[in-house]
Structure 1
Amino acid sequence: MHWKMRQKIERLREEETTLLPVKSFGSVPVNVALVFPNAYELGMSNLGFQAIYRQINSRPDSLCHRAFLFRGFPAHTIEAIQPLGNYDIVGFSVSFELDYVNLLKILQDANIPLFTRDREDLLVMAGGPAATFNPEPLFPFVDFFVIGEGEEVIHEIIDTYRDNKGSPKETILEKLAQIEGVYVPRFYDIEYNERGGVDKFEVKPPAPPKVRRRWVKNLDAFNTETAVLTPNTEFKDMFLVEVSRGCGRNCRFCMAGYCYRVPRVRALEKIIERAEFAAKYGKRVGLVGAAVSDYPKIDELSEELAKRDIKFSVSSLRADTLREPLLRGLSLSGHKTLTIAPEAGSQRLRDVINKGITEDHVLDSIDLAQKFGIKNFKLYYIIGLPTETSGDIEEMIDFLTRVKEKMVAGGNKTGLLTVSINPFIPKPFTPFQWLGMESVLSLEEKIKKLQSNLKPKGIKVLYESPRVSQIQAALARGDRTTAMMLYKVHLEGGDLSRFKRVEMEGKNVEYYAHREFDLDDMLPWDHIDIGLGREYFVEEYKRALKGQVTRRCTEEICNVCKICRK
């Protein structure tokens, strides 16, 4: 390998504090390279990536070494500086659709055949949020997918591989296909009609007709937390601890809210114990969850951490569940910015998406934060939501103007108000999965309008490119034909701009991003079972169009989707 690459890996490794024993390559029966298909700094901020790393390395018969995208050099593992092709299994943790092109680049640079049909022994595995809700755009490149949460199923995968190591690849895949939560695409024949719906679907035994999502029922059975400390990451001063998983808010745009249901929480005592462990390393604790302020004992947790002089941060907050103990704790921890997500520009539109918060919730949160010396605010919005009108955009501008005026009137003249604008991307397994994304030109016009009205008032506007979002939408809602478009982009250098020129069978990015389905169409991802039936999503879609809200579910209350009872 190139000496510059070796130097980079050695420097990264020297600056790490690994909280698990590091095993030598080849010292155990099963050797796994776990790859995050993006930069080291991003991968080491990903708690799911570290969770699987921890689980594999907890076993006496397996090891897990990490690898990342190093542009200009083939990926080698951090722990052993070994090429990926030397491992038994190469596993990709895929959180973002735009990383699909990186996955292909990493395989090619490692001299690993891109297509599963061309690989004799090495197995390529993929898991993570993007792979769970629609694995089809990666189907010819990945031997098997983990559908859902991985902490339990990864052990069944390792057991199966270990017991069948040396057998023909087809035999191993047949065994893996029988594990609940494992999807082996080669056992499914799928063809599409002219409208993009599924026209033919055949399953080859022993694969099941539908692949059921795996989910961990008892979070306290696993320490989902930082496994490797490093200064070379966005959260360099932080030890991440998961406090909850899943969300019962029923926000209709949010794929994670449905794919990671049921809402579950960790025991307060367990979180405090891990926070005290983190404090030994002098680290701030990063509390991670779909909505940390929804944690049932967040007030008590905040007070206990403050009592122990443990500083903490949070990954997400809800404006309607913010209270003094949490804000006091964040202030004592040195927080300067409060981030919340109104999402939609008007109350009417927030009812359509079932967000469950009001303008008053946002204003009260800002007042409370300022009381504790937090002066900067960042608000997240989505534009292009179903039924959105120019009136909703006008309401957003009016509200943000009032927020800024309220800050100044309250004496907060130096505080920053930042607005993050993100185009709506309809995702599989949400009530809006049948809809297409709004046109790029329309979204760009809305962004220009927001900029021209907000910037003069001292409001900073950040935004995600609608053209990049269009690519993300095409990959999120894609099928097996999309995989070949992805392959063409890879052959042309892998730059996202190449998607504009690529098409397959007369279909391009615009087709996949903006196409709409009928409610009774068989969708490209319908063979994945996340636990919620089509009738549930249809009912939520109809309620959305009527502006009807759906109540929140929790660990204690299950009367909406009934997934807990299945």
Structure 2
Amino acid sequence: MNWKLRFKMEKLKEQEINLVPEKSFGSVPINVALVFPNAYELGMTNLGFQAIYREINSRMDSLGHRAFLFKGFPPYTIEALKPLSEYDIIGFSVSFEMDYLNMLKILDDAGIPLFASERENPIVMAGGPAITFNPEPLSPFVDFFVIGEGEEVIHEILDTFRENAGRSKSYILEKIVQIKGVYVPAFYEVRYGDKGEVKEFKATPPAPLKIKRRWVKDLDAFTTETVVITPNTEFKDMFLIELSRGCGRNCRFCMAGYCYRIPRARKLERIIERAKFAAQLGKKVGLVGAAVSDYPRIDELVKEFAKNNIKFSVSSLRADSLSKTLIEGLSSSGHKTLTIAPEAGSQRLRNVINKGITEENVLDAVKLAEIYGIKNIKLYYIIGLPTETEEDIKEMIEFLIKVREIMAEGKNKDGILTVSVNPFIPKPFTPFQWIGMEDPTSLEGKIKKLQSNLKPKGIRILYESPRISQVQAALSRGDRDIAKLLYRVHRLGGNLTALKRFEVDGKTVEYYAHREFPLDAVLPWDHIDVGLSKEYFIKEYQKAKEGRTTRRCTEDVCSVCRICAK
């Protein structure tokens, strides 16, 4: 092992406070290397990664160690400084499509065959948001995928592995494929049409034709919070606690609102208890959820925090569910920036995407921030949304200038208005999954227009490159053939932007990113069942084209998608 890498990893470990209790084993445990295919600093902010780490180590027959991408070095685990090849199972936690090449690099650098068909051990599994939406681009490289939330299913997987220890990989996979929520690509055949489109999925028994997404009904049965405290992360002063999971807002561009439905909230008393624990550690509480301001008892929680002198921060807010109590609590906790997401440039376009907020909601939030001394405002927008026109961009510019003027006229005149602009990427399992991404050249023109009109007004513009977004769109919408492109680029050095130079059977990055599917097409991810019917998505797509909205989910009435009744 390289001494520089050893020194770096030992230093990282020394600075950690690991809240997983140590244990002794009566027999040889199942050894799992849990890998986040990006930098340590990013991985240690990921609650899903830490939650599975906790679950693996909660068992008396398994031991989980963490590994990350250290550029220029082969992968070893933090806890034991062992190579990945010495573990029984390698589990990748994948949140972003742009980490796919990192996965291949990690396996290759560890001396592990990339293709599942050429590998007997260790067994490689993968899970996480990107995997749940569409695992196909990685299917030749991974032995099995976890579709959905992993806290329950990881135990079923480890039980199955323990019961069949010593058997061949093919035998173990035959047992694992029978676990609900587990997808084993080797049991599925994809048939393509003359134009390269997916025509049919065939499943080999005992594999099910559809893989049903797993989801945790009772969040309070599991603890999803910071497990390893480290100063080497962006949130070094925070103890992260998951407040809720899922979202019922029905925003038509957002995967989380569909793939993590049903909306679920943790008990107030449990959150308060864990927040007090965090305060004892001297940490600010970071509340994590799809929309923290939507938490049913958010004002009660903030008042309890104030009573106990607990400082807190939030991962996300909705302009239409902000309260004075919440804003005052954030201000008292030292918040300097209020972040909200109008998403679309006009009310017409917000109706198309079903965002459910108005300009008045945003302006009210800006005024509340001023009242309670939060000086800076950050607004998130998406450009290239379906049906977007130049008029929508014009309205966006006019509104942002209005926000800047309001700030300049009040106590926030020295505050910074930041606008973060991201190209729209059509995602699987959303009503826009059939639509192709807008051309990068057109998107770049819109960004230049925003810059030329907003920068002179003192508005800060951040944006993601449309060219990079195009690659992300291709990977998120890809079929198994795109794996051939990934493999080729990996062998040539691993630069994702190089994907644009290659094609497989006529399929290019542009093909995957911009193609439009007929509504009756077999989609590359059709073998995944997230609990919502294709008919439901088609209905929402048609409503979007007509500019009609869908009301949000509520606990007392369920008549929108009917997933709660299943």
TM-score range, shorter chain: over 0.9
Q: Secondary structure at the match of 1:142?
A: coil
1:81 deviation in Å? 0.5
Larger CA deviation: 513-522 vs 493-502: 493-502
Asked if the contact 2:91–2:126 (Cα under 8 Å) also holds between the matched residues in 1, the reply is yes
1:184 deviation in Å? 0.2
Counterpart of 1:118, as a letter, is: E
Larger CA deviation: 411-420 vs 260-269: 411-420
Aligned to 1:30: 30
Aligned to 1:116: 116
Q: Secondary structure at the match of 1:13?
A: helix
Asked if the contact 1:28–1:60 (Cα under 8 Å) also holds between the matched residues in 2, the reply is no
> Superposed, which structure 2 residues align to 1:45-444 within 5 Å?
45-444=45-444
Distance, in Å, in 2 between the alignment partners of 1:274 and 1:332 is 20
Counterpart of 1:564, as a letter, is: C
1:306 deviation in Å? 1.1
Change (3 A) 1:28 1:340: farther
Q: Which ranges in structure 2 are unaligned for 5 or more consecutive residues?
A: none
> Superposed, which structure 2 residues align to 1:475-490 within 5 Å?
475-490=475-490
Distance, in Å, in 2 between the alignment partners of 1:226 and 1:459 is 35
Q: Which ranges in structure 1 are unaligned for 5 or more consecutive residues?
A: none
Counterpart of 1:72, as a letter, is: G
Distance, in Å, in 1 between the alignment partners of 2:180 and 2:106 is 28
Q: Secondary structure at the match of 1:105?
A: helix
Distance, in Å, in 2 between the alignment partners of 1:536 and 1:195 is 27
1:23 deviation in Å? 5.5
1:96 deviation in Å? 0.1
Distance, in Å, in 2 between the alignment partners of 1:462 and 1:25 is 51
Q: Secondary structure at the match of 2:379?
A: strand
1:500 deviation in Å? 1.7
Distance, in Å, in 2 between the alignment partners of 1:278 and 1:100 is 34
Deviation per CA, 1:247-278, whole angstroms, max 9, x where unpaired? 00000000111000000000000000000111
Aligned to 2:42: 42
Larger CA deviation: 194-203 vs 77-86: 194-203
1:199 deviation in Å? 1.6
Deviation per CA, 1:39-88, whole angstroms, max 9, x where unpaired? 00000000000000001100010011000000000110000000011000
Asked if the contact 1:25–1:80 (Cα under 8 Å) also holds between the matched residues in 2, the reply is no
1:26 deviation in Å? 11
Q: Secondary structure at the match of 2:481?
A: helix
Larger CA deviation: 25-34 vs 217-226: 25-34
Mapped pair 1:465 → 2:465: yes
1:120 deviation in Å? 1.1
Counterpart of 1:29, as a letter, is: P
Deviation per CA, 1:511-534, whole angstroms, max 9, x where unpaired? 100000000001010000000000
> Superposed, which structure 2 residues align to 1:502-517 within 5 Å?
502-517=502-517
1:28 deviation in Å? 3.9
Change (3 A) 1:119 1:25: farther
Counterpart of 1:76, as a letter, is: Y
Distance, in Å, in 2 between the alignment partners of 1:322 and 1:514 is 37
Q: Secondary structure at the match of 1:351?
A: helix
1:453 deviation in Å? 0.3
Change (3 A) 1:32 1:295: same
Deviation per CA, 1:297-330, whole angstroms, max 9, x where unpaired? 0001011011100000000000000001111110
Aligned to 1:9: 9
1:197 deviation in Å? 3.2
Counterpart of 1:4, as a letter, is: K
1:412 deviation in Å? 1.9
Asked if the contact 2:349–2:392 (Cα under 8 Å) also holds between the matched residues in 1, the reply is yes
Change (3 A) 1:548 1:90: same
Superposition TM-score, scaled by structure 2 size: 0.99
Distance, in Å, in 2 between the alignment partners of 1:313 and 1:20 is 24
Asked if the contact 1:23–1:63 (Cα under 8 Å) also holds between the matched residues in 2, the reply is no
1:22 deviation in Å? 4.1
Q: How many residues align?
A: 566
Counterpart of 2:82, as a letter, is: Q
Deviation per CA, 1:326-358, whole angstroms, max 9, x where unpaired? 111101100000000000000000000000000
Q: Secondary structure at the match of 2:432?
A: coil
Distance, in Å, in 1 between the alignment partners of 2:546 and 2:34 is 45
Superposition TM-score, scaled by structure 1 size: 0.99
Asked if the contact 1:289–1:316 (Cα under 8 Å) also holds between the matched residues in 2, the reply is yes
Asked if the contact 1:264–1:555 (Cα under 8 Å) also holds between the matched residues in 2, the reply is no
Distance, in Å, in 1 between the alignment partners of 2:331 and 2:116 is 51
